[in-house]
Structure 1
Amino acid sequence: MRNLKKALAGAAVAVMAAALCSGAQAAEAKREIAGTLADGSEISSITLKADNGISATVLSYGATLQRLLAPDSQGNIADVILGYDKLSDYVEHPNYFGVTVGRYANRIAGGRFTLDGKTFQLPLNDDRNSLHGGDRGFDKVAWQVVSVKSGPTASVVLSHISPDGDSGYPGKVDATVTYTLDEAGNLGIAFEAKTDKPTVINMTNHAIFDMGGEGSSNGAMGQMLTIPASTFTPVNANLIPTGELRPVAGTVFDFRQSRRVADGLRDGTDRQIVFGRGYDHNFALDKGVTAKPELAARLEDPASGRVLEVLTTEPGVQFYSGNFLDGTLVGKKGHLYRMGDGIALEPQKFPDAPNHPDFVSARVDPGKPYRHVMIYRLSTSR
């Protein structure tokens, strides 16, 4: 098993190095102790740092992206993702900030799906649905640190074994998450998983972004968003896709040309906005499934000049406008998080795909590993 994990780790780093445009300078990886869980599990904090001012801090709890620091057009550094300063808050007040979600990101209707004639029941942790793998998904476990490396591309590899029947899912799953950072401003995240039985897997990162800097007075609502998708998957009142691929043209879901996040956010004449309490919808990317990461979304803060590009090999991206941030969570530096203080752009398979044969399949079989590569590319517009 140890040799297998080392092989997976080496393969993942090689994949990411090829996918990213690495610079000539070295990036540093540093590991520290973040704390200990109630069961005695020691949690590590790993920081990947480049000379251009970009750095990423990863917690082994939940394989979580805790911090992402980026310079603005004047060279001022700010953390651009919402979250917590302390490990204990991620444990005691979970809200998916920057975590790895799985086994299945997003919602499964009724927490139920059928595979090869057998029906599986998952925990219901989102009213009538199962969300992000249930009440004890990949975001709420201690991942093992496989390797930490400095170099032209700094990296950390984490692994987790999910046993057969974990949260109702079939098959033992051996999962790895590899974070890489290069000097070009690319933070890569590679998700890989193997199973010993047919199952469904859909992993992604759930970072919530404010490119003006976490806790900024204006939040993310005035930032400019582009999503290259001609269709999206409309939902019912329980936020489950209807199965339709609906054109975005002529609707508030058309982000093919850059426009403000806030535009359309409170358009109560659109039933989809009412159902989501804002945007909480999957966009079907025009590119579909790709061998290498391609553009899924672009977010720009006009005030600071910071730009985020999200690239992925997956066919969809969930745009969530922070609708359930209600001022009850105190985040980094004592900031009170409210709706609109940040947005999530989560590359993934479509929500509830196991119950929609026409959607891209989330099925994973023995001998055919799951793989999703995504990139957060940071830059400035001026």
Structure 2
Amino acid sequence: MKIIDKVVGNYDGKSVIEYSLTNDSGMNVSCLNYGCVITKIIVPDRQGNFENVVLGFEEFDDYPDLSPYFGAVVGRVAGRINGARFELDGKEYQLAENESPNHLHGGRKGFNSVVWKVEKIEKEDAVGLQFFYHSPDGEEGYPGNLDTCVTYLLNNKNELVITYEGKTDHKTLVNLTNHSYFNLSGNLKRDITEHILQLESDRFLELGEDLIPTGKMIGTKNTPFDFQNGRRIMAGVNSEHPQNLLAGNGYDHPFVFTKKGENQVVLSDEESGRTLMVTTDQPCVVVYTSNQLEGPFSIYGVRARKYLGVCLETQGLPDAIHHPEFPSVILNPDDVYCSTTTYRFFANTLGD
């Protein structure tokens, strides 16, 4: 187990450092102190070939200007907040309208675009990093001083365990996630339309024209949104379902887990043999199939295009503050925000 670090740039007068975590079997996770961005995850395929399975950039300077949240921790609140405003205890708060007229992923300068303090973790069977950020009262319009700690821990089971913790001095909103785009083909050899997704959900949130939940939950049975027994992502790309069309021919939807407690999401690529098993204590996962991923830039040498990656954003339900029937994302001063998501990678041999 080892950690290597190097300076890769500068942002807001602070050094940007890339940390490379490697376990005893050769799995590697690289990440930045800027936005806690995961730049690479390198794991073997069924032939033992080690390749990168997430989207990112070769150069740090591309992240502030071009990144659609590649690999970042987003917050204070992941997803969209309708009208960029909310009410707490009779007081209305106006947030940054960075996707006018709405608020997206924490605002113009969310957690994804600040430099975090870092402490290394070195154990016998795991290496990792603890990231710390103090979000001052009023930042992006949110009330309360919020102290956040995010931990990335890589162990010898080829698991990356991400833990989020937050403490506030005033009632506020917190809903954190990691926004990595996964592509298990390795080094972006193919898009993700043939990937098979399986998840424990029989309902998803209906989206309005602005991609914000309407509050209505739709059953997945007999629709392209039923992943309980596994199905290819292509099903949503080719679908005529109004919700698939609304999202840009694919998925950008919160799937509500069937049961409370620990739930699993499994993503697999038959050709490479790679499988990613995501285990979380969060109530939902937002599945985004990069339907809007287009632009005049390249991702590790591959031109940006739709369906190059799939995000599996484990989190609370988006826009929960406007839907009292959703699990609350309000954090009180006497409480601690805490959630854990584990990403386990393995490769199936032929015939498995």
Determine if the alignment matches structure 1 residue 75 to structure 2 residue 48. yes
Asked if structure 2 preserves the Cα contact closer than 8 Å seen for 1:310 and 1:376, the reply is: yes
Q: Structure 2 matches for 1:193-342, cutoff 5 A?
A: 193-216=166-189, 218-268=190-240, 270-277=241-248, 278-288=250-260, 290=261, 294-332=262-300, 334-342=301-309
Q: Deviations over 1:47-92 (max 9, x none)?
A: 1101212110110000111110000011001100011111111122
Structure 1: unaligned runs, 5 residues or longer: 1-26
Report the AA paired with residue 266 of structure 2.
R
> What is the CA–CA distance in structure 1 between the aligned matches of 2:236 and 2:251, rounded to whole Å?
9
Asked if structure 2 preserves the Cα contact closer than 8 Å seen for 1:226 and 1:257, the reply is: yes
> Is the alpha carbon distance of 1:111 and 1:237 closer, same or farther for their aligned partners in structure 2, counting shifts above 3 Å?
same
Equivalent in the alignment of 2:140: 167
Q: Structure 2-normalised TM-score?
A: 0.96
> What is the CA–CA distance in structure 2 between the aligned matches of 1:305 and 1:126, rounded to whole Å?
38
Equivalent in the alignment of 2:22: 49
Equivalent in the alignment of 2:316: 349
> What is the CA–CA distance in structure 1 between the aligned matches of 2:139 and 2:52, rounded to whole Å?
34
> What is the CA–CA distance in structure 2 between the aligned matches of 1:32 and 1:264, rounded to whole Å?
41
Shift of 1:224: 0.7
Q: Structure 1-normalised TM-score?
A: 0.89
Q: Structure 2 matches for 1:54-65, cutoff 5 A?
A: 54-65=27-38
> What is the CA–CA distance in structure 2 between the aligned matches of 1:321 and 1:124, rounded to whole Å?
24
Asked if structure 2 preserves the Cα contact closer than 8 Å seen for 1:179 and 1:187, the reply is: yes
Report the AA paired with residue 231 of structure 2.
R
Asked if structure 2 preserves the Cα contact closer than 8 Å seen for 1:113 and 1:354, the reply is: yes
Report the AA paired with residue 281 of structure 1.
H
Shift of 1:327: 4.2
SS at match of 2:42: strand
Asked if structure 2 preserves the Cα contact closer than 8 Å seen for 1:30 and 1:148, the reply is: no
> What is the CA–CA distance in structure 2 between the aligned matches of 1:311 and 1:160, rounded to whole Å?
25
The more displaced of 237-246 and 67-76 is: 237-246
Shift of 1:313: 1.0
SS at match of 1:328: coil
> What is the CA–CA distance in structure 1 between the aligned matches of 2:281 and 2:142, rounded to whole Å?
24
SS at match of 2:63: helix
> What is the CA–CA distance in structure 2 between the aligned matches of 1:168 and 1:340, rounded to whole Å?
33
Shift of 1:234: 0.6
Query: After TM superposition, what 4+ stretches of structure 1 lie above 6 angstroms from structure 2?
Result: none
Asked if structure 2 preserves the Cα contact closer than 8 Å seen for 1:147 and 1:158, the reply is: no
Q: Deviations over 1:100-135 (max 9, x none)?
A: 000000111111111111111111122321110011
Report the AA paired with residue 220 of structure 2.
V
Shift of 1:264: 2.6
> What is the CA–CA distance in structure 2 between the aligned matches of 1:142 and 1:53, rounded to whole Å?
28
> Is the alpha carbon distance of 1:202 and 1:40 closer, same or farther for their aligned partners in structure 2, counting shifts above 3 Å?
same
The more displaced of 90-99 and 134-143 is: 90-99
Pairwise CA RMSD of aligned residues? 1.2
Asked if structure 2 preserves the Cα contact closer than 8 Å seen for 1:200 and 1:362, the reply is: yes
Determine if the alignment matches structure 1 residue 93 to structure 2 residue 66. yes
> Alignment partner for residue 369 of structure 1, among 316, 324, 336?
336
> What is the CA–CA distance in structure 2 between the aligned matches of 1:30 and 1:204, rounded to whole Å?
25
Equivalent in the alignment of 2:8: 34
Q: Which has the higher strand share?
A: 2
> What is the CA–CA distance in structure 2 between the aligned matches of 1:337 and 1:242, rounded to whole Å?
31
Report the AA paired with residue 376 of structure 1.
Y
Equivalent in the alignment of 1:115: 88
> What is the CA–CA distance in structure 2 between the aligned matches of 1:160 and 1:214, rounded to whole Å?
32
